[in-house]
Structure 1
C-alpha cells in the first residue's frame, strides 16, 4: 500500500504541475492592486492537431479504504483538474512509460484549493473525491487520435488515510 503524501510542487513534478495560489509560484498584483495574479501555473498541452477544451466533471465520493485496480493515461495531451467544491481528494499516479505495477504508484492527498495538471502520458486513477460529491474544472484535449489508454493492475492496491482502519 503506498503512503499517502502531501501534495507539493516538488513531489508532483515527475507527473505534471501542481496548480495552486501560493508563495511558491510566480504572482503579482494587477487591476490597480485589487487582484493578485498567480501566473502560468501549468503547461497545458493539446498535442498535435488538438485543441484545449474546458469541462466540469462531477465526481462521486469514494469510500475508504479504496482498491485501485486500474489506471489511465492520455498520451496526446495534458489533463488539468481544479477543484470547485473546496474539498480534499486523492491523486494516484505513476510515471509515463510502460504499464506500471502496484509498486510504481504514488498517492497524494490534495487540499480543496490545489489542482493538478497531468503531463501527457502520465498514468493516473480517475477522480477520487472523498466524503461528498465534488465538481472539478477540467482542461484537456479534444481532437483526432486515441487519447485514453486504460490498464488493469496485476495486483490491486488498497488506499486508506493515515489513522483509518
Structure 2
C-alpha cells in the first residue's frame, strides 16, 4: 500500500490544480460604514461550459476512519469546484495529475481559513475533513451535461497522517 505524504497548502504548490482561496496578501475594501471588510476576486469560477450555471451549496462532511484510504478520484470536465470551510477547522486536499500514476498524487494540509477552487478537469479526492460534521460552502456548476468522471485506483493508497491531523 502506497502512502501519500501531506504538505502545507500554499498558492504556489497548489497552482497546477487550481486556486487556494485565502485573504493573505489581499487588500480589502472597507464597506458597511467601516464595519466590514470585503475581499474581492478570490477565485475564478469556471462553470459556463455547455450552458452551465453557478451553483452555491452547503456540504456537511463526515470524518473518515484513520488511516484515510484513497480509493476514489474524481474530476469535473465542465466546471471548477470551490470548497470553503465554514467552521475554521483544518482539512485535507488530495489531487493528482493522472489517477493511474501513484507518483502524481499530492496531499495538502489546508488550514481552517483556506479554501480551494479545483480547476476544471483537476483530479481530486472527495472532501476530506479532520473534524466530524464539518460544513463547507461549495461553488460549482449545475446544468446539463456530464460533469463528473470517477476513477477507482487499482492500488489502495493512504494518507500518511501525523498524530495531530486527526480528531474524533
In the superposition, the TM-score normalised over structure 2's length comes to 0.88
Contact 2:4–2:160, Cα closer than 8 Å, also in 1: no
Please identify, of 112-121 and 31-40, the stretch whose mean Cα deviation from structure 2 is larger: 31-40
Q: Secondary structure at the match of 1:140?
A: strand
Return the offset for 1:3.
1.7
- Go from structure 1 to structure 2 and tell me whether the alpha carbon gap of 1:35 and 1:100 turns closer, same or farther (over 3 Å shift): farther
Q: Distance in 2 between matches of 1:4 and 1:124?
A: 14
Structure-to-structure mapping, 1:24-43, within 5 angstroms:
25-43=26-44
Give the aligned length. 161
Please identify, of 151-160 and 139-148, the stretch whose mean Cα deviation from structure 2 is larger: 151-160
Q: Distance in 2 between matches of 1:134 and 1:125?
A: 16
Instruction: Report what 1:6 is aligned to.
Output: 8
Structure-to-structure mapping, 1:103-122, within 5 angstroms:
103-122=103-122
Instruction: Report what 2:157 is aligned to.
Output: 157
Structure-to-structure mapping, 1:1-165, within 5 angstroms:
1-23=3-25, 25-48=26-49, 49-95=51-97, 99-163=99-163
Unaligned 5+ runs, structure 2: none
**Higher relative helix content:** 2
- Go from structure 1 to structure 2 and tell me whether the alpha carbon gap of 1:2 and 1:99 turns closer, same or farther (over 3 Å shift): closer
In the superposition, the TM-score normalised over structure 1's length comes to 0.90
Please identify, of 150-159 and 68-77, the stretch whose mean Cα deviation from structure 2 is larger: 150-159
Return the offset for 1:47.
2.8
Q: Distance in 2 between matches of 1:15 and 1:26?
A: 24
* Runs of 4+ residues deviating >4 angstroms: none
